[in-house]
Structure 1
Amino acid sequence: MPRKVYEFNNPRRFVAGTVGQPGDRTFYLQASDANRTVSVVLEKEHVQVLADRLEDIVDEVVRRGTVPPIESPQEDLDPLEMPVDEEFRVSALGLAWDDDLKAVVIEAVSGESGSLDEDQIFSDDDDAPDVLRVTIDAAAARAFAVRANAVVHAGRTPCPLCGIPLDPAGHICPRQNGYHRATLS
């Protein structure tokens, strides 16, 4: 099957979001322009790392004076656009700063076609895996990172003792060594 490249240059919207209840959420990257919306599935950890690295890139280009300081990013609190149809599952992410465009290039690469070679990220080979390629300015990157961090941290609350997410049905905390506190009546 030929490679599919979903390319968005300064999309109307580029966000991370979830579908499902905390503890059973599926994480998505979603890019939209006037005519189409593309959604890809990725792991929670991918979303966190992407947000962190985008923050680092934006901080660095602002520090160097490449782009002016970004006051406060425009918040996007809207849900994912429906229907959320998965194009592919992400196995690798690539980030780059394009100095000519003064923009961040994000590439989410599918891993469904077998093993992924590092050289296939940012590749234009026809035999490379499917890819979602999004180019956004520094302000949009900062706004993406703010929302992505909120999405990641909107899950289950952590146990105050061990930090493991609490389940609605209960939690056996390893810090309590299997014991429950006795309650006085």
Structure 2
Amino acid sequence: MSRAIHVFRTPDRFVSGTVGEPGDRTFYVQAVHANRVVSVMLEKQQVAILADRIDALLDEVARRFDTPVAEATDEVEDLQPLVTPIDAEFRVGTMGLGWDANENSVVVELLAVTEESLDESIVLDDRDDGPDALRVFLTTEAARSFAARSEAIVSAGRPPCPLCGEPLAADGHVCVRTNGYKREPVSLEPYDFDIDDDSA
């Protein structure tokens, strides 16, 4: 069975998003062009890494090649939810990132999980023996926008524990810094000291 490679050269939209409540969210990346929608499922950490690497790639392109690229931003322009119904084509295992100097575009490739070990040469390759893939070409503005939205989505989960930094859950939290025990606040009542000074 030949692999499916979903290519978007001029997507109308390329975003990450989630379904579910904080602490039980499923993460997706979705590419949209006209009526064509392709969604893939991935881990929260993968979304964070992809956003970080996109920003780093664009910074490096600007530095090394003196190529004008969109500036990094914290502002999220696209606040719309994912297109529904969400039917994931596959779960992402390997991610690839590149720069197309001819088109001045960022190339993102997300490959399906596979039991076979993958060689780096399979990324951005159209040969028939690889896993299914989503390949998207982005302007520098669209790439920065994807990174900004992804960072906001990743950080919008459960708040961290002030002691250990792990996410807090609605049904409780076992903190490694307290050996799993909930510490109650200690009230320091005023204490009267009687000083008996016989030396006076």
Is the 1:94–1:106 contact (alpha carbons within 8 Å) kept by the matching residues of 2?
yes
* 2:46 equivalent to 1:46: yes
Show CA shifts across 1:103-155 (max 9, x none). Answer: 00000001246433332111110111110000001111100000000011111
Match of 2:156 among 130, 134, 154: 154
CA contact (8 A) 1:28 1:41 kept: yes
Deviation string, structure 1 residues 25-61 (Cα, Å, up to 9, x no partner): 1111100001300000111111011000100112222
- Aligned runs of 1:120-139 on 2, under 5 Å? 120-139=122-141
When normalised by structure 1's length, the TM-score is 0.92
CA RMSD of aligned residues (A): 1.9
Q: 1:69 to 1:109 in 2, by over 3 A?
A: closer
Residue in 1 aligned with 2:68? 67
> Identity of paired residues, percent?
52
1:129 counterpart SS class: coil
CA distance 1:126–1:169, shift in 2 (3 Å): same
Q: Which amino acid aligns with 1:65?
A: D
Q: Distance in 1 between matches of 2:76 and 2:91?
A: 28
**TM-score (normalizing by structure 2):** 0.86
- What is the CA deviation profile of residues 5-42 of structure 1, one whole-angstrom value per residue up to 9, with x for unaligned ones? 10001200000111111111111110000130000011
- Matched length: 185
Q: Tell whether the 8 Å contact from 1:89 to 1:112 is kept in structure 2 after alignment.
A: no
> Structure 1 residues 21 and 66, CA, compared in 2 at 3 Å: closer, same or farther?
same
CA drift at 1:174: 1.4
CA distance 1:60–1:82, shift in 2 (3 Å):
same
8 Å CA contact 1:5, 1:131 repeated in 2: yes
Q: Which residue in the other structure is 1:163 paired with? A: 165
Q: Which moved more, 1:66-75 or 1:49-58?
A: 66-75
Letter of the 1:37 counterpart: V
